[in-house]
Every structure is written in structure tokens, then in C-alpha cells.
Structure 1
Amino acid sequence: MAHGEEKRDAVRHSYVNEILNLTTASAKHRVPESTARRWKIDAKSKGDCWDLARAAARKATGPAGEFTETFIEEFALQVHATFETLKEQGDSLPLPERTKILKQLQSMYGSVMELAGGNKSIEKMAVSATVIKELGHYISRYHAEHTEPFVQILDGFGPYIAQRLSE
């Protein structure tokens, strides 16, 4: 049985934005899992990587995004406190010890930044997801009569923007 674009977009939406696994997303929309997997592969060959979009959605919203943001803020505060301590101690801290601390900070900083945003494609998608989410909130609050058409447009826009951002 052939399924239309609306079904495919609904499965993609459930997989990407609701963070359902592909088996559950396909069952939710009454589509064989093999069909959903084929759609996912076909989309990737056209530049719409569902996994990348999913990672961006997770990073932009929910506990994963909040954790990443909070972790980076806390790490930045710790780095600042360490620099202040190094300044306060001045020459009383031997140069080899001071150098060791700075090298450790550099290493940790590199690791944190890589984990937080090392994949530029995910970063672009996360920013896009955040902007779209905020636009949705704005429309529903100030232009409620346009909410339903906006949601309909978003179903097709997700794959489009994913492809454009991967170019």
C-alpha cells in the first residue's frame, strides 16, 4: 500500500521531534517499519538526515539541551574561578604547577566544547529548531488563527531545512 507525503512527514516528525524510535514512530502512524526505514534512507540520500535533525532537536529542547547549557555554564564558572585563584596566588605558585593547571584546563575546555558543539551541522540544526519553536510559540500566542496552517507548513519544512543546512 502506497503512503503519501503526509504519512512520511508524520513518521519523520515523531522520530525527530517526539524522539520516538523508528519502530514506535512507524507503529504510531500505521506504517510498516520497513517503509519507515526506506523513507529515512531515501531522505538521507537527498540531504535530509533524520538522525542529524533528531540530534539537533534533542540538543535544542528538553533535558538534553538544558543539561548541555547548564553544564557549559557551570564549567565556564569553574574556569573563571580557577583563573582568579591563579591570579591571587601570583608568583607563590611555582611555574610548573601553574603550567600544569593551565594545560589541564585547556584539555578539559577542548573536550567540553567538542561534546557541546563539535558537530557544526547539529549546531545549525539546533539553532534552526530553536527559532522554529519560538516562532511557533509566537504565532500561537499572537496569531492563533494561523497556528494550524503553520503546523501544516512545518511538516514539509523540516525535511527542506535539513537539506538546505546540510549543503
Structure 2
Amino acid sequence: MTNETVEPIRATEIPARVGRFAMRFSSTPRGARLARRLTANRLETWDIPYDSTAHDDITLIVAELAANAVRHGRVPGRDFRLTLTAVGPSVRVEVTDTRSEGEPAAHAPSGGGDSGRGLLLVAALSARWGWQPRGDGPGKTVWAEYQLPCRV
């Protein structure tokens, strides 16, 4: 036997976050704002503090995907759904709308307007992102996965 000591893994090195938040919102600018605000609150409860880069990045991803659901995925009278899933060092954001046509594309906007940059931001901030047809009805789910730093 040797007298070597094994240094234990510190809890701050491997985040032990596990959580899920899902809610439907009206497909309106007010619904998108509420989704962003509730995301900010939920991240705080998951120990991703308001003043951190991760908090700002994830909240911005939600804001962009919710705005797209309202602007491009809106079907009158139907809501969009936001799902946040935290598992260890990652947070997955999913926004599901009810419009089936139109594939989301992250490309440079044509013209000089401010429109069309949302998915470019999502692509830049997330570790990966994509979309899939909605499994439980018409529409699609756009998702992004954010990798948290070891210390938030």
C-alpha cells in the first residue's frame, strides 16, 4: 500500500444542476417578453446568477427563439411552448410553435434592416442548435444547447 491521497472532486467543478421548466405562452410580443422574464427567474433558481454571462446568453437565446415563434411561427389562437432543461453543465432551450411551413435558417439577412439576425445570435451563443418537426401536432421545435462554464 502507498500513502497517496486522492483529492476529491469539488462540487464546483461539476455542476449538479438538474431541472425542467415548461410553459405555454400566447403568441404575442407580451408572451415572448414573459417567456424571457420567467427564464431569467428560473436560471437564478438553478444557481445561474443574474449578473453572469451564462445567464445573459441563455436569456438572449430564449428572447430570440420566442420572438421568432411570435413573428414567424404564429398561428392565430395558438400558443408557443418554451421548455428549459438543465442537466449538469448544459441548458437546453426548446421553443415550439404551431406553424409547419418554413424551415428556420441562420443566414445573413438581406438588405440593411435589423431583422434576420436572431438565429445568427443563437448559433453564435449556443454549443449547437437545430430544429425538428413537432411530435405532437402541427409545427416545429427550434432548440439550442448552451454549455455552462465550470463556474457560473
- Please give the TM-score of this superposition, normalised by the length of structure 1: 0.30
Return the structure number with greater relative CO, CA threshold 8 A, min gap 6.
1
Of Structure 1 and Structure 2, the greater helix share is in: 1
Larger Rg: 1
Structure number with the higher strand fraction is: 2
